[in-house]
Every structure is written in C-alpha cells, then in structure tokens.
Amino acid sequence: MVYDSIPRTVRILLLGEPGVGKTSLILSLVTEEFTEHVPPKAEEITIPADVTPEQVPTNIVDINVAEQSLEQVGEEIEKAHVICIVFSVENQETLNKIATYWLPFVRDNSSEEFRKPVILVGNKIDLIDYSVIDNIWDIAEEYPEVDRCIECSAKSLINVSEMFYNAQKAVLHPINPIYSIEEQEVTEKCKKALTRIFKICDLDGDGLLDDYEVTMFQKKCFDSPLQLQVLDEVKSVIAQNIAGGIENDCITLKGFIFLHCLFIQRGRNETTWTVLRKFGYDESLDLTPSYLYANVKVPVGCTSELSYKGQQFLAQLFEKYDKDKDGMLNPTELKNVFSCCPKIPWHNLRYTVPTNEKGYLTLQGWMCRWTLMTLLDLQNTSAYLAYLGFNFLENDTQKSAIHITREKKVDIAKKQSSRNVYQCHIIGPRSCGKTSICRSFLGIAHKKIKSHANERGDSNNIENSCINTVLVYGQEKYLVLKEIPITRVSDPLQPHEVNCDVACLVYDVAATRSFEYIARIYIAASNHRSRPAGILPLGLYITRRPLSISALCRPMVAIIKFIPLSWQQFSRGKTLPPQSFNIRENKHDVFIKLATMAAFPHLKHFANLSGENSSWWKAGIGVAAATVVGLVLIKIFSFQKR
C-alpha cells in the first residue's frame, strides 16, 4: 500500500513569448507529427491515465498573451500544478525574458508557502548545432522552483514526450522537498525521513543493511527482489564515492543517504519518492494520517487490545534495542527506540509499570506500557506502531496489531470474559491506602510506599495508577488498577469513574466514618438497574493500619442517604467475613482474585483467601463458591429495614 497525496490529475500550463512554439509542442505530442499551420492557441487537452507513464490523467493548457488578459493568465497559474516556460534556443531575447519577466510573474501569482515547480523548455534545437543548457543554470540557481531544463524540438519531435513526462514527474516526484540545489545534497527533512526508513529496515539493529535486509527493503518498495549482481554494483558505487558508506560489506546510513542523493542528481526522483511514499510520506515529507491511524473502531461495550502480531512485533523491537542484552531498556536504549518519533509516547502518562530497581523498563514493563496505551489511547498506539515500522514486512496497516474484544454483555451471557486486559478501579476516601495497594501490585518495597505516601498523600500521587500481569487459571492477563478518590460524602461517582471490569472499594478501619463512604457506594450500586455482580471483602494491613477492600464487578452511580454503619454491622449475617492480607509480604492473591472476578463476570463472591487457601486459583476450586447476586442484595435491603 502506498500512502501519499498525489493529485488525481496533473495540470500542465505552458507559458512563454509568442512564437516560441508552445502550441506546436502540444500538437506534436498529440498527433506525433509536426503541423505547419498552427493555430494561435491550442484548446485544453486531456490525456487519459492509461497512456501516461505515471498512470495519472493529465491536462495540458496553452496560453496566448495576445488573446488573454494578465488576470486570466494569473488564474491559470493558480490552477496549474506545474509551469512549463518555453523559449526559443535561437532567440536570446526569449531566454532573457524568463528571468526578467516570466519567473517573477509566476511567483507573484503563486503561494509563498508552496512554489509550483517550473520546467524551462528550450524549443527549436533542430535549428542549432549546440546546447544552451549551460546558459540557463544561473537562472535555476536563483529560482529554486526550477525543477529542470530540457531542450526539444516540436518540428523534429525530439524530447517532446520527455518534456511532458518530466512535467508530470515535477508534480508527482517534486525535487524541492527532497533536494537542495544550492547545497547539492538531500534536504534535512528528507535526511530525517531516510534515517527513519533505514532504522526500520535494519532488522537486527546493528546500524548496517546486510544483503537480506536490502532485499527485504527492495521487495517492500519495488515489489521485486534485487539481483545480487546489481546489489554488488550498488555497493561498489557507494564505496567508490563516499568514505564510510560500506562497512563489513554492508550499507551504512551514510551510504544509504548518499545513494538517494545520487538518484536525485541523476534525475531519478521517482526512485526516492517511491521509497518515501511506501513508508508513509506525503509531498511535504510528513507522515500521512492514513498511514499513521488505522481505521479501527471500538464499539460501545468493547475494548482494544494488542493482537498476537502486535505483541510479537513489540517484543522483537525490545530485543532489537536491548543492546547490552540485560533484559532491560536503560534511558539511552529507550531514547534510541523512539529517536525517529515525535517523543516517547507515554512521557506524560500517569501510570506505572513493572521496572527493575533502577527504574529501567523490563520486557514485562515494556509490554504493560503498550498494553495500557492500546486500551486507553488506540490512536496513539496506531501512530507509534507506524513510526516504528510495524507495517514494513507483511503487514499493510496496523489493523493486524489490534484486537477488538467482544461486548461485555456477551461475556456476561457466556459467563466468561474473552478479554486479556481488565480494568479495576480502586475506590475510596483520601489516605485510605489506595496508592499503597497499587504499589504493592508492582512489588515496590513497603518502606518506599510509606515514604511516598508521606510526601504526597494518596490522591495527589502522580503515579495514581498501575498495570501488571496476573495469572488467571494459568493464563497471563493484564490488570489495570486506577485510583478513584472520594472527596465528599454527598458526591456521586461519575460514569467514567465506575466504567471498569471490577471495582475495589477501600476503607480505613482506623477512621470512624471511612466505611460509610464505601457502604453508600455499594448500596447505591445495588439499587441501580445495573447492580454489582459480586463482592470481595479483604482485610489489608499496611504498616500497622488495617484496611478492608470489597470488590464489585459492575459498579454504578447513585446518591443515597447517610448510613452510620461499620463493616462488622454491614457483613453481619452474610458470608462476607474480612480476610487478611499483609502488604509487607506482598501477597499477590488479592490481585489474582480481582482479575478472576473480571474474567468470570457471572461470579458473585469467593471463598476466604487466607492461609492454605491462597492457591485456590491454581486448582480452579474458587469458582465453586459463587452465589447469586439477588441473595446478597436481599440481605442488604433486609438490613436497611431493621
């Protein structure tokens, strides 16, 4: 697939002094013979796409300054894609008028931001036996919009078709964005684009393109393999012309850029443009939206995840840039990964992932970052997969890197979630331990939890959420914990605050009214038409402060009256005794249970987590303790009436 913004048609305008042969050139192209009796002006001609080398319809417009006003000529310049200024090689005055009149006139009627390409055409070379090309290079240097100079003859049909073909090329493969005539080298923007392409094609990340990588590049861009003999010749040209272009019989970045500079200098702009467009660039050397953003829609009730292909690509990318092979990306390696991207995509993301003791990303943390971004910002994931070259080999777009899950109501009906990423909201009042729970999920040391909590407090913690992996019946799942602080008793939670797969309600046993917040949320959700499907009581101990957590599968929002209630009163007569969990010991059972409740949304509650039952999930016996949600709700309502 080629991503570009090539015009659907090319409009060529011929300008010049009377008598230089503009109309004759058009008629010679169409009839393939010279016409002695030439009209003052040719009618606009449309050449079908199937008879043009670039397969693009072409309109050719003639100008007669004796019949048309300057305003009309200016309007034609605005509509044209490329301007051919014709002069007679035997008439010096017509050549002089190019620099003194026609080029300034074209500039005056063109946008300063985008100067249209100009072809200088020397007609009637059948009347002289020498070339005048050298005499017009000074003009080309003064006017960068001059794409090239061509000598031709309408009478002898010399270079007539080539003239119009080059006019097409000037539009479809413009030189100005990719090459600086003054500096005789590729532009900085082109160099940046070619550098990104080189890094993508450098599959093993050694800074060189070996024969296999060059072959893959050739197939991607030109749909045909490169013969070994031709490849050897290419490498020979590079080695002879630029020092450091070849290393260990492989092409370096320096040699790769030089090769494209050579193509452009030899008039083969289309070669470089073919490469650029295959990798998503438009005529301004910006990546096109259609290349960056895959057309993927996430229906209501569904979520977005990485597919197997997406995970495989990202894992290989991690290995490619892990130069010291220590299983981590240090800051330098991470910077190298995104060196051809606008920035590191999660630079300002308020989520934490597993890292080593120095804060370096492990492979697990790397995959967690991408998993989270795919869940919360699919467009950004699509764009960065494109930046990093996901669709270089067999993939046309980033669609194959994305998996859209089925609707949650289908999961509930089938009594099992098909998702691999679950969202859990940690809901509770300020300073009840939400941040400590999140950090415990990442395995961060307890004393670090305490110091951070003292410094910033719960709700002001910049790292207010986290993501990690858990095993649910032997299958690896991602669990996202997001803190939802409760600021005032009377404020209901907003829809986005309860839009999750499972909720974890947190209260502080040491705080007199802490549980009242949680009871209000639970009962409000119970009275809602989409009442919660399960509850999980847990007693947590952070430092010496005991905490309790209850988990809801589908919490909703409503406002209820104040309820002076304690956990013991609330759970009296119910099979909901608090369960012990010590964060100092970093038990993972609570997170496994939360993920399991999300994985099996029909379950209502689970058995005790303490003691020897902590391995229940491995054997799959915890599911047997499920009860119906109606029974729980009836008991809650019965208690309210007491």
Q: State pLDDT tens for residues 507-553.
A: 776 666 666 776 666 665 555 444 333 333 333 333 222 333 333 33
pLDDT of residue 613: 37
pLDDT tens digit string along 133-149? Answer: 887 877 887 888 888 89
Amino acid at 114: F
For the segment 409-436, the average pLDDT, to the nearest whole number, is 85
With a CB cutoff of 8 Å and minimum separation 6, the contacts of 276 are: 178, 190, 193, 194, 197, 285
Name the least confident of 201-215, 316-330, 545-559.
Answer: 545-559
pLDDT for residue 491? 65
User: What is the amino acid identity at position 141?
Assistant: E
Comparing 2-16, 212-226, 289-303, which segment has the lowest mean pLDDT? Answer: 2-16
Place of tokens 């050694």: 206
User: Percent of the chain beyond pLDDT 90?
Assistant: 51
Please compute the mean of the pLDDT values over residues 186-202 and round it to a whole number.
97
Across the chain, mean pLDDT equals 80
Separation between Cα atoms, residue 530 and residue 392, nearest integer Å: 45
Token readout for 96 is 């002089």
Strand-pairing partners, residue 130, are none
Asked whether the predicted pLDDT for residue 450 surpasses 50, the reply is no
Amino acid at 604: K
Lowest mean pLDDT among 383-397, 431-445, 627-641: 627-641
pLDDT at 114: 76
Q: Quickly state the pLDDT bin for 589 (edges 50, 70, 90).
A: confident
Q: What is the pLDDT of residues 489-500, one digit of tens each?
A: 566 667 777 778
Of 578, 579, 541, 510, the residue nearest 436 (C-alpha): 541
Q: Cα-flanking dihedrals φ and ψ of residue 540, to 5°?
A: -105, 150
Answer with the residue of higher pLDDT: 631 or 597. Answer: 597
Residue 488 makes CB contacts below 8 A (sequence gap 6+) with none
**CA-wise closest residue to 380 among 403, 355, 398:** 398
pLDDT of residue 534: 38
pLDDT in tens, 551-583: 333 332 222 233 344 555 555 544 444 444 555
Which segment, 412-416, 458-462, 573-577, is predicted with the most confidence on average?
A: 412-416
* Over residues 25-29, mean pLDDT: 95
Distance from chain centroid for Cα 13: 39
Return the structure tokens found at 537. 């009581």
Residues 6+ apart with CB under 8 A from 481: 424, 425, 426, 437, 438, 441, 465, 466, 467, 504, 591
pLDDT tens sequence across 63-98: 998 889 999 999 999 999 999 999 999 999 999 999
- 3-class SS string, 464-524: CEEEEEEEECCEEEEEEEEEEEECCCCCCCCHHHHCCCEEEEEEECCCCCHHHHHHHHHHH
Percent of the chain, pLDDT > 70? 75
Q: What pLDDT is attached to residue 390?
A: 95
Q: Please provide residue 531's backbone torsions phi and psi, each rounded to the nearest 5 degrees.
A: -65, 160
For 6, 249, 257, 316, 576, the CA distances from 207, given in Å and listed in that order, are: 32, 13, 13, 16, 60
Q: How confident is the model at residue 347 (pLDDT cuts 50, 70, 90)?
A: low
